[in-house]
Structure 1
Amino acid sequence: MQPLPFRATAVPLMLALLLAAAVPGVRAERADRNLPLNFAADSARVDDLRQVTVLSGNVEISKGSIVIRADQVEVRQSPDGYQFAVATGGPGKRASFRQKREGSEEFLEGEAERLEYDARADTVKLVNQATLRRFRGSTLADEVAGSTISFDNTTEVFQVLGGPASPVASGRVRGVLTPRDAKSSSATGSGKP
């Protein structure tokens, strides 16, 4: 297999970095930024002229503690340098991501039929059958589920919407938020979930 040119690997790299950085109140593992991006897929299509990269079939992207799995990942770059990415799970499957939080033994995991990232707005959306979990070590601490989960990294606000595409049978939003003890709140910063 012949290596792809730097420009071709830079676009998926931005997807991994941007998806990981967009989770509110969560600081990405800083060491992840300096580590190489690895990806595997059944196929890759790079269109340098249109600034579009498409990875298809059993896609796995990893960069340090960041892992993204999807059936397909498409990344577009605007003329002004912003990236827009969509990861899809394929028929009957969900795309997923996992990342370690900075300075703690906490991990975030999210999955949905579609993960969308908008670098210009600095937002991430988990769309259809969306679930987000926070683990403290190997213990599940927090979990929210709904039709759509939206993150705004600038304001550190997230919103969970219900609807027919919710993984909850009633279509409502569901969640469990575990209180932090004083020790873990001070170790991770703000004490936000």
Structure 2
Amino acid sequence: MKNPLHSWFLPCVLVLSTWGVHAEKADRAKPMNIEADALRYDDIKQLSIFTGQVVLTKGTILIRGARLEVRQDPQGNQHGVVTAEAGKRAFFRQKREGLDETIEGEGETIDYDSLLDTVKFIGQAQLRRYQGAKLNDEFSGGLIVYNNLTDVFTIDGAPGAGAKGSTGQPGAPAGRVRAMLTPKTDPALAPAPASSTPLRISPELNDAKR
């Protein structure tokens, strides 16, 4: 029988509030730094378009893609939309606050809104949580919305008619959501370490052979 945690198919919409994302709150106020091959800036629209191997950093946030459109409102709030090259996915990473944990996500398009403090992964979307270098939880679907303000994220397997859903993710057909959850370990219930005492022959067994 297969482990249900490794092939758990969920309804089209999944809402988890107990995962406790808690990403770095200070990232919202950090400056947005961007590198790319080219930039086109429209001062009237307050629109910057970066193209070619785009790398965005903002505090602990790292986003990579092929094209990035950034708008800024009069209050200084930034809204960025990153798209990947054809056949690839854009990449997102952010550290969790006060913990040695990291959130990573991918999608054909990544939509970041500093005002709402949300990140949307659109098309072939995937979200992962690491403890140190160890993968703990993994989710995939057609659309993932991660809200840092409410510590809630939602996953939708079919965000629209004709959408590809989670096709391409192992075990998850189009229109479905897939999740892999690692059980939380209680240190008190951890098995005792194996004894390092070397094995020896029992005297009773030796006597029985004589």
State yes or no: 1:165 paired with 2:161.
no
Alignment correspondent of 1:180:
184
Contact 1:29–1:65 (Cα < 8 Å) also in 2: no
Alignment correspondent of 1:27:
23
Specify whether residues 81 and 33 from structure 1 end up closer, same or farther in structure 2 by C-alpha distance, changes over 3 A only.
closer
Specify whether residues 44 and 102 from structure 1 end up closer, same or farther in structure 2 by C-alpha distance, changes over 3 A only.
same
Between 1:94-103 and 1:61-70, the stretch displaced more is 61-70
Alignment correspondent of 2:111:
116
TM-score by length of 1: 0.71
Gaps of 5+ in 2: 1-19, 159-163, 188-210
Secondary structure of the residue aligned to 1:170 is coil
Bigger relative CO (Cα 8 Å, ≥ 6 apart) = 2
Contact 1:53–1:76 (Cα < 8 Å) also in 2: yes
Gaps of 5+ in 1: 1-23, 184-193
Higher alpha-carbon Rg = 2
Residue type matched to 1:173 in 2? V
Question: How far apart in 1 are the matches of 2:134 and 2:148?
Answer: 25
Alignment correspondent of 2:194:
none
State yes or no: 1:92 paired with 2:87.
yes
State yes or no: 1:78 paired with 2:73.
yes
Question: How far apart in 2 are the matches of 1:41 and 1:61?
Answer: 9
Higher helix proportion (structure 1 or 2): 1
Specify whether residues 89 and 28 from structure 1 end up closer, same or farther in structure 2 by C-alpha distance, changes over 3 A only.
same
Between 1:107-116 and 1:38-47, the stretch displaced more is 38-47
Contact 2:147–2:153 (Cα < 8 Å) also in 1: yes
TM-score by length of 2: 0.66
Alignment correspondent of 2:37:
42
Count how many residue pairs are aligned between Structure 1 and Structure 2.
Answer: 160
